[in-house]
Amino acid sequence: MPTLPVAVTIAGSDSGGGAGIQADLKTFAALGVYGASALTAITAQNTLGVTAIHEVPTDVIAAQIEAIITDIGADAVKTGMLASSPVINVVARELKRHRVARLVVDPVMVAKGGDRLLQEEAVDALRAILLPLATVVTPNTPEAEVLAGMTIRTMTDVREAARRIAALGPKNVVVKGGHLEGKDAVDTLYDGHGFQEFTSERFPTKNTHGTGCTFASAIAAGLAKGLPVVDAVAGAKAYVTSAIKAGLEIGHGHGPLDHFWMLRTPVSP
């Protein structure tokens, strides 16, 4: 019987199903990877925003990671919402203890509706403790501004921010360009030596809830399959572009991507 690659998401739960571990597990399934999860927080959330957050105790987070990796294993791990420095500390400790080799860090700071998902005191811990462990880190431009300590307005700024973030320790940095103005959405990969851009059309839609989670987990799925980083990023970009184009009219705010668009009406990237 064939076995599937295993990807693990360590992130918060989105009760609305559009982002967080729900989006991650949908992405893993859509891309042919077995998904497991360790919850860091429970959010009361929908397409309009976040109304409550409850952090999972750190010993329970550690126990989840231990249970997954010692039995099922992890070909790649993706982190999302980590909320606070104690959570970041325990996650980093467990990742090092279990010698996780392929780690994608989505430095989640703010939800689509503007609600803060990472405490300000935790940013330093994210920089100092987690980023040095990352194979790939995937900030959007507001997150990259915080991590790099600079304003980003142009592609020249994007490249400088990527260099600054890479200096914190991650092997690869992808600065997502969805927040920048322009006809196209351009994501920029920096591998410590050079840059590569991944360009897609922008679509006139508000249904983009979970885009960042989905992109990072799609990269993790590619790495779990053994793809080189550049191919994992390219595949993630194509998958997310199609999922945005398909979209879902769900709720009264920012609706989710259609993670299983290929099972319904096919759309071209």
Catalytic residue list contains 156: no
Catalytic pick among 27, 58, 208, 241: 208
Catalytic pick among 211, 214, 241, 247: 211
Measured in degrees and rounded to the nearest 5, phi and psi for residue 81 equal -65, 120
Catalytic residue list contains 205: no
Phi-psi region of 73 (alpha: psi -120 to 50; beta: other; left: phi over 0): left
Catalytic pick among 213, 222, 247, 255: 213
Catalytic residue list contains 171: no
Q: Please answer whether residues 11 and 20 qualify as being in contact, where contact means their C-beta atoms are separated by less than 8 angstroms.
A: yes
Catalytic residue list contains 51: no
Catalytic pick among 210, 222, 247, 255: 210
Cα separation, 25 vs 206, whole angstroms: 22
Catalytic residue list contains 194: no
> What is the H or E stretch that residue 224 is in?
helix 211-224
Beta pairing partners, 137: 105, 173
Q: What is the DSSP letter of 256?
A: B
Cα separation, 93 vs 29, whole angstroms: 28
Catalytic pick among 26, 78, 112, 176: 176
Catalytic residue list contains 213: yes
Determine the residue type at 181: E
Residue matched to tokens 């572009």: 241
> Catalytic positions, please?
176, 208, 210-213
